[in-house]
Amino acid sequence: MSWVRIHPYIVNWPGGGAPPVFEISSDENGSAVIELAWDPQALLAPASYSEPLRYYSTDVPFMATITTSSGTSRALNVPPQTITLASNRATWVMPADLWAGYLEESLKTLGGGPPTNFQSNIYYRVRLTHPGASNAVVWPTDAMIRGNLHAPRIGVLRLSATPASQILPDIEAANAMGGLPFLPTFWGDLLRAMWDVLPEADPHRQSLAAIFAHPNYQSQSVATRAKILRLWLVAGKNSRPRLPQLLSRSAVVGSGIVQPVLAKQDLRGGKMLVDNLLALLNITPHPDIVAFYSSGGVKYLTAYEQLLDDVITEILDPNGQINQGEAGTCSPTSIMTLLINVNPAEYARLMLGLLSKTGSATLARGGTISIPPAIYQLARYPLAAGSAFFVRTFSELGFQATVLKYAQDSRFPAYDPSANVNASNGLNTVFQRTISAGLFEGETKRGLDGLFNVNFTTHFIPQPTAGQSAAQWTAAFQAAQPALLEGLLRDLPGRQQQMILATFWGALPPSPNAGGHAVMAIRRDNGRVFFKNPQYAGSNPSGATGTPAAGPPRRYDDASATLESMVESDLRSWIMGYWVPDTALI
C-alpha cells in the first residue's frame, strides 16, 4: 500500500525569519500538492473563505488583498507551483508572500489592526499522485484531522519584546552552520531569527546562552560548534532546554579514562554523537511512525525536530518506563541504558536505521537487525494499565523490541501483522506475551555481544544437572551466590564501568534459564552496591529517599536519578549473576 508523509524541520517557526521549509517523502515518486489552513475544518472543506488565508493549495494561483496589522492593505500574489518528488523526496519552501501574510495575521493576535480568527497555527496536508495512478495518496487523513486541534501543524513563533542583548555570541560558528542547496545560509539565518525573537527569560534562549558559555562547547572547532548550534536549533521544544546537560555528560571508556559524550564516536564509521543526531534530518522516517496514545489522546510525530527530540529524550533519560512483566523484561531496558551511558553515539547510529523506512541497522559486531513488523503501529493496539511494556518514545520502543527479537532469536515468535491485533497470532497478543517473558541468561549475553562487539563473560547461577531435584538445585543456587557476589565486588571497581547485574526479588526464579531482574550496577562504595533499576523511569521516579516497604532491603539514595543501593551482605542473598566484558567498552 502506497504512503506519503510531509514533515517541517521545526514545529514552531520564528516570525520575521525565513519561510518554513517542508520535506515530502513517499515510497514512490509522483507529483504533490500541499494544502495549508489555519484550522482543521478548512482542510476538510476546501473553499474560498472570507478570510483569504484560511485555506491555501499549491496547485492553484492565490491572489488576495489582506489588511495588515497596521491597518494598511497588502496584495498577495502566489502563482501555482509544481512539486515533483525525485528519489522519493521533495523539499518545499513556503512562498515568501504567503509567509508574510501569515505573519501579518499573527501580529494581529497581539492587538494590532483588525481582529482575526487565526490562532498562530498552520495545519498542513499533502496529496501525492503516483505516475499512472487515478487517485492521490493523502496524509494526514481525514480521520487524523477531523475535530483534532493537535493534528499535524506548525506554529508561528511570535515576535517578542526586544531582548536585552541582540548580539549573537558566536558569529563565526553561526556563519559555518550551512543550509539547504537552494538556501545556503538557511540554518544560520534561522538561528539568528530565533535569537532575536526569544526573550531573555525564555528557557530555550537561556539554554542557548548556556551552550555558548559551556567550556565543552568553547573548546571545539568552528565546524563542531556549528553542528552543536544546529542541533540546538532542531532539537525540539522538550530537548532544546536540556542540551547543556548533554555537553556536561561524560562516560568512562577505560581504567581511569573519562571522555565527554560529545566526543564519543560510534562503533561503525567513527562518527560523533552530534553527527549521528543531525543525520536524523536526512532519513525518511518509517511510515508507521504516525501516532501514539498517551493520557492526552493521540499525538503525532510530524516534524524532524520531533524525531530528534524522540532520540535525545532517551539519551538524556535512558531508564525508560516501568516494565511490568516478568523480571526478564528489565534486560532490554538495562542493555539500552548501558549502551546509552557508555556510547550514546552508537545508540544514535542504530536509531538512524531503526527509525528509517527500512527499520533495520547493522550491529557493531556485524549482521543486520530489524524491528518486528508493525511494532511502531501503536494506534492499532492498546497499551492499557497493567500492560507488560510501557514506552515514551518511538526510539525506546524500536530499540528494545529489536534487541528482544535479536537476542531471543528463534524463541521470538512469528506473528501476522494483518491479523486482528488481539487474535492468537495478532500483534498485541504475541508481542505482549513475548515481552512479558523478557530475556534468558544466554540471550542477554547475545544481545550484549552483538551491540558492543565485545565478548561478555557470564557469571551466573549453575544450571541443574540430570536427576537433580528442585530442592537440590535451590541448594546449589544458594551455595553459588557468595562466589558470585565476590566476583562482582572485584570486577565492578576493577573495570570502572557500569555492569548489568541479575537479581531476583521475592521467591526464587521459576526457571534456571530466567535472566533475573536486571539492574545497572554503578559502583561499590562503603559496603554498599549502588545501582539503577530499569523498573523506574528517571523522568518519573518511583518512591522517595529511604528504605522501600516491600522487596529486598535496598535503599533509595536519589529518587530523581532512580539510584538505589543495597548492603553487600544483603545482596549475597539476592544475586543471580552478572555479565562482564572481556575488554573495556568504548
- How far is 176 from 191, CA to CA, in rounded Å? 12
Residues 518, 502: contact at Cβ < 8 Å?
A: yes
Dihedral in degrees, nearest 10, Cα atoms 6, 11, 12, 17: -50
Average pLDDT (541-547) is 60
Whose CA is closest to 404, among 412, 414, 396? 412
Listed range (63-67, 252-256, 285-289, 557-561) with the worst mean pLDDT:
252-256
pLDDT at 582 over 90: yes
pLDDT at 388 over 60: no
Cell 559555518 locates to 176
pLDDT at 60 over 70: yes
* 208 occurs within a structural domain: yes
Regarding whether 490 and 422 lie in a shared domain, the answer is no
pLDDT for residue 259 = 78
Number of compact structural domains in the chain = 4
pLDDT for residue 295 = 39
Residues 140, 192: contact at Cβ < 8 Å?
A: no
Domain boundary among 410, 435, 452: 452
**pLDDT tens readout for residues 190-226:** 999 888 888 888 899 999 999 999 988 998 999 999 9
Strand-pair category, 456-460 with 575-581: antiparallel
Please list the alpha-helical segments (H only) found in 31-150. 40-44, 96-108, 142-145
Angle at 317 between CA 451 and CA 152, to 5 degrees: 100
Cis amide linkage into residue 140, ω under 30° from 0: yes
Cell 501574510 locates to 101
pLDDT category at 403 given cuts 50, 70, 90 is: very high
Q: What would the grid cell of residue 249 be?
A: 555528560
* 517 occurs within a structural domain: yes
Instruction: For residue 75, give the 3-state DSSP assignment.
Output: strand
pLDDT for residue 114 = 80
Regarding whether 216 and 184 lie in a shared domain, the answer is yes
Regarding whether 568 and 438 lie in a shared domain, the answer is no
Average pLDDT (529-554) is 72
Regarding whether 461 and 448 lie in a shared domain, the answer is no
- How high does pLDDT run on average in the chain? 85
pTM: 0.84
Residues 559, 544: contact at Cβ < 8 Å?
A: yes
**Position with higher pLDDT, 357 vs 300:** 357
Strand-pair category, 153-157 with 12-14: parallel
Regarding whether 132 and 172 lie in a shared domain, the answer is no
pLDDT category at 166 given cuts 50, 70, 90 is: low
Residue ranges making up the domain that contains 554:
456-581
- How far is 363 from 368, CA to CA, in rounded Å? 6
Other CB atoms within a 10 A radius of the CB of residue 59 amount to 14
Regarding whether 11 and 71 lie in a shared domain, the answer is yes
**Position with higher pLDDT, 419 vs 436:** 419
How far, in whole angstroms, is CA 244 from its chain's centroid? 18
Other CB atoms within a 10 A radius of the CB of residue 581 amount to 19
Supply the Cα-derived Rg of the chain in whole angstroms: 27
pLDDT at 34 over 60: yes
**pLDDT tens readout for residues 465-491:** 788 888 888 888 899 999 999 999 999
- How far is 184 from 311, CA to CA, in rounded Å? 27
pLDDT category at 282 given cuts 50, 70, 90 is: confident
* 267 occurs within a structural domain: no
Average pLDDT (354-383) is 86
Listed range (108-112, 321-325, 374-378) with the worst mean pLDDT:
321-325
pLDDT for residue 293 = 38
3-state helix, strand, coil in the chain (%, to 5): 35, 25, 40
pLDDT for residue 91 = 93
pLDDT for residue 386 = 46
Whose CA is closest to 138, among 124, 157, 120, 154? 124
* 206 occurs within a structural domain: yes
**How would you label 245-284 residue by residue, b for 16+ Cβ within 10 Å and e otherwise?**
ebbebebbbeeeeeebbbbbbbbbeebbbbbbbbebbebb
pLDDT for residue 539 = 66
Other CB atoms within a 10 A radius of the CB of residue 295 amount to 4
Regarding whether 188 and 202 lie in a shared domain, the answer is yes
Cα separation values, 56 from 60, 366, 541, Å: 8, 49, 46
Q: Computed from CA positions of residues 545, 548, 553, 554, in that sequence, does the dihedral angle turn out positive or negative?
A: negative
Regarding whether 551 and 535 lie in a shared domain, the answer is yes
pLDDT category at 292 given cuts 50, 70, 90 is: very low
pLDDT at 512 over 70: no
- How far is 194 from 22, CA to CA, in rounded Å? 18
Average pLDDT (433-458) is 89
Which residue(s) pair with 89 in the sheet? Answer: 25, 86
Residues 414, 375: contact at Cβ < 8 Å?
A: no
Torsion angles phi and psi, residue 28, rounded to 5: -140, 160
Listed range (146-155, 210-219, 549-558) with the worst mean pLDDT:
549-558
* 259 occurs within a structural domain: no
Regarding whether 575 and 522 lie in a shared domain, the answer is yes
pLDDT for residue 385 = 43
CATH number assigned to the domain comprising residue 141: 2.60.40
**pLDDT tens readout for residues 128-149:** 999 888 899 999 889 888 888 7
Q: What would the grid cell of residue 350 be?
A: 542504530
**pLDDT tens readout for residues 296-347:** 444 556 678 888 888 998 898 887 555 555 556 788 888 998 999 899 999 9
Domain boundary among 452, 487, 518: 452
pLDDT for residue 150 = 80
What percentage of the chain exceeds 70 in pLDDT? 87
* 120 occurs within a structural domain: yes
Regarding whether 133 and 222 lie in a shared domain, the answer is no
Dihedral in degrees, nearest 10, Cα atoms 462, 463, 466, 467: 70
pLDDT for residue 294 = 41
* 575 occurs within a structural domain: yes
Instruction: Give the H/E segment covering residue 298.
Output: strand 297-300
**pLDDT tens readout for residues 168-179:** 899 999 999 998
Q: What would the grid cell of residue 166 be?
A: 541582540
Regarding whether 173 and 138 lie in a shared domain, the answer is no
568 contacts: CB under 8 Å, gap ≥ 6: 485, 489, 524, 527, 528, 529
Which residue(s) pair with 12 in the sheet? Answer: 155
550 contacts: CB under 8 Å, gap ≥ 6: none
Regarding whether 204 and 176 lie in a shared domain, the answer is yes
- How far is 472 from 475, CA to CA, in rounded Å? 5
- How far is 481 from 489, CA to CA, in rounded Å? 12
Instruction: Give the H/E segment covering residue 511.
Output: none
Average pLDDT (561-580) is 91
pLDDT for residue 174 = 95
pLDDT for residue 447 = 96
* 381 occurs within a structural domain: yes
pLDDT for residue 161 = 47
Instruction: Give the H/E segment covering residue 37.
Output: strand 31-37
- How far is 198 from 191, CA to CA, in rounded Å? 11
Domain boundary among 157, 188, 205: 157
pLDDT for residue 200 = 83
